[in-house]
C-alpha cells in the first residue's frame, strides 16, 4: 500500500556497532555479523543501516536511509510488479540437466535449490500491469547467482514466443552474474538463442522492455539485457560485461567509483532511464499505455 511506502521506521539510530563503523571507514572486512536474531533485521549492503525486515519489505526492499535497492527474488519482483500481485507462471517445472557432466554441477544444483527455495534462475509469467496484459521474465540472483544456462535461455525464449503469439509486450527484469559456467558452450549459445527470439519478436512489432537490476553482468549484459526498445535500470544497479577485477588486472589502473553502475551507463548513453523501484510499476504502466498496450497494430 502507498501509505506503507512512507511508513516511518521507529529506530533511526543506535544500531551502529563498532564493526559497522570500522567497515564504513573501510578499515576492516572481517567483522562478524551483528548478533541480531536471523531474519528479524536486515543490514544495508551499502550504508550498513539496520532495518526491521518487515519494514524493509513494506518499503519494497529499498534501504530507507540510502535508497539502496536490495536484490529481490523473482517471486517478490513479480508480486510487486503485476496488478494485485497476481500472475500465471509458465514452465515452472523446467530444471537443469548436466550436459557437460561437469564436476560437482549436479550437487551444486541441489544445494542452490535448497538454499534459495526456487528451481531455476528465472521465472516467466503472464499477468497485467495497469490493466495491460504483459509477459514478464524475472531473474533471481538468489539462485546460482542468477546465472544463465539452458533452462534460463529456454524459458526466456519460450516467454518471448508466447508474447509474440499472444501479441503481448515482453518485459525482463535481469539479475544475473552472466553465463552459467557449468554448462559451458551451451550457456554461451543461450545468448544467441534469446537474441534470435527477440529479433523475431521485434520484427513482429512487439514491445520489449529490459529492466536491468543488481547485478546484470557478463553474457546477460551481452544479450537480452541491452536489447530493449527501452533499456531501464534500477538506481545503483551493477551493469557491466567484464568483471571489475579482470579489468583492473588488464589495464592496471583504478576504476572510477561509479564504474558499471546504472548511473554510469545512463551517462554513457546505454540506458533510456534509471527508475526507482517505487516508481517502476507506474513507469511500466505509462510505457505500455504510450505504446497502446505494447504491440504494433496490424
Partner 1 sequence: MEVASVANDLQFEQPLLELKKKIEELRKFSEQSGLDFTDEIRKLEEKAQGLANNIYGELSAWQRTQIARHADRPTTLDYIRGMCSDFLELHGDRAFGDDMAIVGGIAKLGNMPVTVIGHQKGHDTKENIARRWGMPQPEGYRKALRLMKQAEKFGRPVVCFIDTPGAYPGIASEERGIGEAIARNLIEMAALRTPIVCVITGEGGSGGALALGVGDRVYMLENTVYGVISPEAGAALLWKDASQGQRAAEAFKITASHVYKFGLIDGIIEEPKGGAHKDQAATIAAVKEQVLAALHELLEIPADVLIEQRYQKYKKMGHYAE
Binding positions for partner 1, rule: CB under 8 A: 91, 93-97, 99-100, 102-103, 149-151, 153-154, 157, 179, 181, 183-193, 195-200, 202-203, 218-219, 221-227, 239-243, 246-247, 250-251, 253, 255-256, 259-260, 265, 268-270
Phi-psi region of 130 (alpha: psi -120 to 50; beta: other; left: phi over 0): left
Nearer to partner 1, 184 or 293 (CB): 184
Shortest CB 251 distance to partner 1, Å: 5
Phi-psi region of 60 (alpha: psi -120 to 50; beta: other; left: phi over 0): left
Nearer to partner 1, 60 or 122 (CB): 122
List Cα–Cα distances, 209 to 102, 140, 229, in angstroms: 34, 17, 6
Q: Which three cell numbers stand for residue 185?
A: 558452450
The secondary structure element, H or E, covering residue 42 is strand 41-43
Nearer to partner 1, 22 or 270 (CB): 270
Shortest CB 99 distance to partner 1, Å: 4
Nearer to partner 1, 42 or 141 (CB): 141
Shortest CB 119 distance to partner 1, Å: 10
Shortest CB 85 distance to partner 1, Å: 26
Shortest CB 264 distance to partner 1, Å: 8
**∠ CA 197-177-209 to the nearest 5 degrees?**
40
Cα separation, 45 vs 259, whole angstroms:
18
Q: Is 227 helix (H, G, I), strand (E, B) or coil?
A: coil
Amino acid at each position: 500500500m502507498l501509505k506503507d511506502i512512507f511508513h516511518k521506521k521507529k529506530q533511526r539510530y543506535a544500531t551502529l556497532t563498532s564493526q559497522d563503523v570500522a567497515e564504513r571507514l573501510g578499515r576492516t572486512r572481517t567483522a562478524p555479523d551483528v548478533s541480531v536474531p536471523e531474519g528479524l533485521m536486515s543490514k544495508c549492503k551499502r550504508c550498513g543501516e539496520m532495518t526491521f525486515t518487515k519494514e524493509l519489505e513494506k518499503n519494497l526492499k529499498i534501504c530507507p536511509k540510502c535508497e539502496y535497492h536490495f536484490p529481490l527474488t523473482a517471486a517478490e519482483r513479480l508480486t510487486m510488479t503485476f496488478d494485485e500481485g497476481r500472475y500465471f507462471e509458465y514452465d515452472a517445472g523446467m530444471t537443469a540437466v548436466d550436459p557437460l557432466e561437469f564436476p560437482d554441477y549436479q550437487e551444486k544444483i541441489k544445494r542452490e535449490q535448497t538454499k534459495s527455495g526456487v528451481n531455476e534462475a528465472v521465472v516467466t509469467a503472464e499477468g497485467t500491469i495497469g490493466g495491460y496484459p504483459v509477459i514478464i521474465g524475472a531473474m533471481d540472483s538468489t539462485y546460482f547467482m542468477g546465472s544463465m544456462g539452458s533452462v534460463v535461455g529456454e524459458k526466456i525464449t519460450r516467454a518471448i514466443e508466447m508474447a509474440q503469439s499472444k501479441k503481448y509486450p515482453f518485459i525482463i527484469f535481469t539479475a544475473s552474474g552472466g553465463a552459467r559456467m557449468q554448462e559451458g558452450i551451451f550457456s554461451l549459445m543461450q545468448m544467441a538463442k534469446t537474441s534470435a527470439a527477440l529479433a523475431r519478436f521485434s520484427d513482429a512489432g512487439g514491445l520489449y522492455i529490459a529492466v536491468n537490476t543488481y547485478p546484470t553482468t557478463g553474457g546477460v549484459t551481452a544479450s537480452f539485457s541491452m536489447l530493449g526498445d527501452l533499456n531501464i535500470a534500477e538506481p545503483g544497479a551493477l551493469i557491466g560485461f567484464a568483471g571489475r577485477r579482470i579489468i583492473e588486472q588488464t589495464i592496471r589502473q583504478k576504476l572510477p567509483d561509479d564504474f558499471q553502475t546504472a548511473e554510469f551507463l545512463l551517462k554513457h548513453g546505454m540506458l533510456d532511464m534509471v527508475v526507482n523501484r517505487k516508481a517502476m510499476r507506474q513507469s511500466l504502466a505509462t510505457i505500455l499505455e504510450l505504446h497502446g498496450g505494447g504491440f504494433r497494430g496490424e
